[in-house]
Amino acid sequence: MPNIKIFSGSSHPDLSQKIADRLGLELGKVVTKKFSNQETCVEIGESVRGEDVYIVQSGCGEINDNLMELLIMINACKIASASRVTAVIPCFPYARQDKKDKVGSRAPISAKLVANMLSVAGADHIITMDLHASQIQGFFDIPVDNLYAEPAVLKWIKENINEWKNCTIVSPDAGGAKRVTSIADRLNVDFALIHKERKKANEVDRMVLVGDVKDRVAILVDDMADTCGTICHAADKLVSAGATKVYAILTHGIFSGPAISRINNANFEAVVVTNTIPQEDKIKHCNKIQVIDISMILAEAIRRTHNGESVSYLFSHVPL
């Protein structure tokens, strides 16, 4: 493809390489380093004048450093006369801070701040996956393509769960009801949800199952799992309600703090995540974790965007 350059930030070089390989391109030359005072320095090692530039950087690991690195890379390409700069952000940082959660709250809406920072840095377009809240697209005044892992999830379920026709798709909270009903409809199976009450962040007080999972395979579906307290509690709830097996399928496997030990001790057949976040280190300590590769979806989105084509095909199909 002419007039296109793909650069990788330091958050997920493996995914960037898979995307470049899929497109038959080489990753652009970029050097990222830190000065002794921990300031981030980025040097773009080749001309981007008049090019269509894509920068792949996921919101994971050292999130603040990686976000700052992405902003500097965008700005470096923009002031070097790139014709268009697209930020490919598989896992959007600060996406959970998308609203004021209480009446009269003085909590920030940090996802909006990140949107402003990306725009001011010079991004012309954003490609991301499974935003925690779809209204984040409205925080931008530039085009945002929010891709979905759903087609890849459906493919994985059909290929790896023999009893999928006798399953129930379960949301671990009311906020994910739309996501699970969409998957359940496309599989033509039942769905359920778990109503949870929190006393404070990352701590669930009480859970109530709404729906039937008795003598069925239960598949928990969510957009992300951080400390995994919720999905592990949910797995226990589903087993006590009569589920024969419990799977968890998550787009973004953050797995911080006690997450891995909780998964190892929980009633899961498998915890399936995509590679929007690197999982190599997690897999070493937990054999229940399985990974769905979504690099082909992001690569196809880049190809279609570069060629001025629609990406809506990707909302219901996995590229071959």
Q: What is the pLDDT of residues 118-146, one digit of tens each?
A: 999 999 999 999 999 989 999 999 999 99
Query: Are 136 and 194 contained in the same domain?
Result: no
**Residue 104 sits in a domain of what CATH number?**
3.40.50.2020
Task: Please tell me the total number of residues recorded for the chain in this structure.
Answer: 320
State the alpha helices, DSSP H only, in 122-224.
150-160, 177-187
Based on the domain organization, do 89 and 223 belong to the same domain?
no
Query: 106 and 156: one domain?
Result: no
pTM: 0.94
Tell whether 73 and 119 lie within a shared domain.
yes
Distance CA 320, CA 315 (A): 14
Please tell me whether residues 94 and 191 are part of one structural domain: no
Cα separation, 138 vs 186, whole angstroms: 27
Answer yes or no: are the C-beta atoms of 286 and 259 closer than 8 Å: no
Question: Does 303 reside within a domain?
Answer: no
Q: Are 252 and 113 in contact (CB under 8 A)?
A: no
Instruction: Tell me the one-letter amino acid at 124.
Output: D
CA-based torsion, 123, 93, 6, 134: positive or negative: negative
Note whether residue 43 is domain-resident. Answer: yes
β-strand partners of 271: 248, 289
Residues 47 and 177 in one domain: no
Q: What is the pLDDT of residue 199?
A: 64
Q: Give Cβ neighbours of residue 134 (< 8 Å, ≥ 6 apart).
A: 146
For residues 155 and 133, membership in a common domain is answered with no
Give residue 320's pLDDT: 82
- Residue 301: other Cβ atoms inside 10 A: 24
Please indicate, yes or no, if residue 242 is contained in any of the structural domains: yes
From residue 85, give the alpha-carbon distance in Å to each of 4, 19, 76, 181: 10, 17, 10, 35
Structural domain includes residue 75: yes
Distance of CA 5 to the CA centre of its chain: 23
For the chain, the domain total comes to 2
Whether 169 is covered by a domain: the verdict is yes
- 255 & 187 share domain: yes
Q: How far is CA 73 from CA 52, 76, 255, in A?
A: 14, 5, 27
| 78 inside domain | yes
Residue 100 is which amino acid?
K
Smallest Cα–Cα separation from 7: which of 92, 76, 95? 76
CA–CA distances in Å: residue 258 to residues 19, 61, 261, 262? 31, 16, 6, 6
| Residue ending a domain, choose from 99, 120, 147 | 147
Residue-by-residue pLDDT tens, the chain, 320 positions: 789 999 999 999 999 999 999 999 999 999 999 999 999 999 999 999 999 999 999 999 999 999 999 999 999 999 999 999 999 999 999 999 999 877 667 889 999 999 999 999 999 999 999 999 989 999 999 999 999 999 999 999 999 999 999 999 999 988 889 999 999 999 999 999 998 776 666 665 678 899 999 999 999 999 999 999 989 999 999 999 999 999 999 999 999 999 999 999 999 999 999 999 999 999 999 999 999 999 999 999 999 999 999 999 999 999 98
Q: Are residues 115 and 24 in the same domain?
A: yes
* Integer Cα distance of 15 and 19 in angstroms: 6
Domain boundary among 100, 129, 147: 147
Tell me what pLDDT residue 200 has: 66
22 with 142, same domain: the answer is yes
Residue 122, sorted as left (phi over 0), alpha (psi -120 to 50) or beta, turns out to be left
Same-domain check for residues 179 and 67: no
Domain end marker among 113, 147, 181: 147
126 Cβ partners below 8 Å, 6+ apart?
86, 87, 89, 118, 140, 142, 143, 144, 145
Residue 193 CA to residue 27 CA, distance in Å, equals: 43
**What range does the domain containing 62 cover?**
4-147
> How many whole angstroms separate alpha carbon 100 and alpha carbon 262?
30
- If asked whether residues 287 and 168 sit together in one domain, one would say yes
Any domain includes 285: yes
